[in-house]
Structure 1
Amino acid sequence: MPEPYIRVAADDDAPQLSALDRATWSTLHAVTPEPQPPYDPFFDERHPAGDFLVAVLDGRIAGYIRLARPTPLAANAHVLQIQGLAVAEAARGRGVARDLVRAAADEARRRGARRLTLRVLGHNTPARGLYESEGFAVEGIQPQEFFLAGAYVDDVLMGRAL
């Protein structure tokens, strides 16, 4: 099997994904507080395993991407949104994030979506570069939408057709 191997997450992936989420938490991309014990379950009613694609590298989960509907409205059921992307430090530089973004686009098409969108923090230059190289364009900016680590940060809305 070529690596990384991308697949839909399974319920028993939760412990590895939870550990990955905690290990990669940073104000570069997170607007929620740093996770503290006791940790919430990784999967729940709003975030089921089927919304996640995982990258398996060297036999372990090396990253994930979450693909979900941005709203419950029927009027935009043709849109899916990337709502989280994380790659283990040891797997960075091996194309895992790019493979996950491409797999998310393929999965969105398979689910019948016509558009794929995402939100990224303005100061997250590496992620913005990745998304732009994969065909996403800036569609809007919410200036100073978040206050993180003592600084105001823009929320950048990006999207692409499928």
Structure 2
Amino acid sequence: MNAKVKTTAPNAVIEKVEALNDDELDELCDAAEKAILDGNGFGWLKAPSRTVLERYWRGVLLMPQRDLFVARLDGAVVGSSQLLRPPPNNEAQAHSAQITSFFIAPGARGFGLARGLIRLAEDIARDGGYRQIDLDMRASQQAAIQLAEGAGYQRWGTKPRYALVDGVYVDGYFYSKSLVAE
């Protein structure tokens, strides 16, 4: 499966990928490094070595409960997100998937790529029979908060001490969205 979503920019596309060639892997690592340095490192506070990033992305592609989505601008990979499905033994939460590891490199923001990543993850989750989709983020990530709330996600909780950034605890927000009319 190689699902794609067009965005409002004519030179931008979002797609689900099953594999990455060496150039795409290099672009994804570059985009991740830029996002990490900008403070949107999907958990990383400092950019790890290129070897660590390459291993991370290769590992994501091998994990059966994860789908990797990439955002392209002018053909180059500039961001990504993942759809995380619950493991088979978690029958009680089998209705719910999660968007995770979500970022757009700073120079590629403002083209609708972030909205496209969310929309494609929702479409894939819905097509997979999931009834709900969740995501979480640091309370300090105002652009991500506006994006999630604008896409219909409802904040259901706050976690104090969600992250420790530069020696300071930061709260986190948890969001959910129903994928079916109830």
Q: Is the TM-score greater than 0.5?
A: yes
- Cα shift readout 1:73-100 (whole Å, capped 9, x = no counterpart): 1221221101111112221111111111
Correspondence 1:158 to 2:175: yes
Instruction: Indicate conservation of the 8 Å contact 1:29/1:124, yes or no.
Output: no
Percent same amino acid among aligned pairs? 29
Which one of the candidate residues 71, 74, 77 is aligned to 1:58? 74
The one-letter code matched in structure 2 to 1:34 is K
TM-score with structure 2 length normalisation?
A: 0.78
CA shift, 1:31, in A, is 3.2
Counterpart of 1:34 in structure 2 is: 46
Counterpart of 1:15 in structure 2 is: 26
Correspondence 1:79 to 2:90: no
Q: What is the count of residue pairs matched by the alignment?
A: 161
Counterpart of 2:12 in structure 1 is: 4
Correspondence 1:43 to 2:57: yes
After TM superposition, the runs of 4+ consecutive aligned structure 1 residues lying more than 6 A away are none
- Cα shift readout 1:107-136 (whole Å, capped 9, x = no counterpart): 111111110001110111110010000000
TM-score with structure 1 length normalisation?
A: 0.87
Instruction: Indicate conservation of the 8 Å contact 1:55/1:61, yes or no.
Output: yes
The answer for unaligned runs of 5 or more in structure 1 is none
Q: Distance in 2 between matches of 1:33 and 1:94?
A: 25
The answer for unaligned runs of 5 or more in structure 2 is 1-5
Instruction: Indicate conservation of the 8 Å contact 1:17/1:61, yes or no.
Output: yes
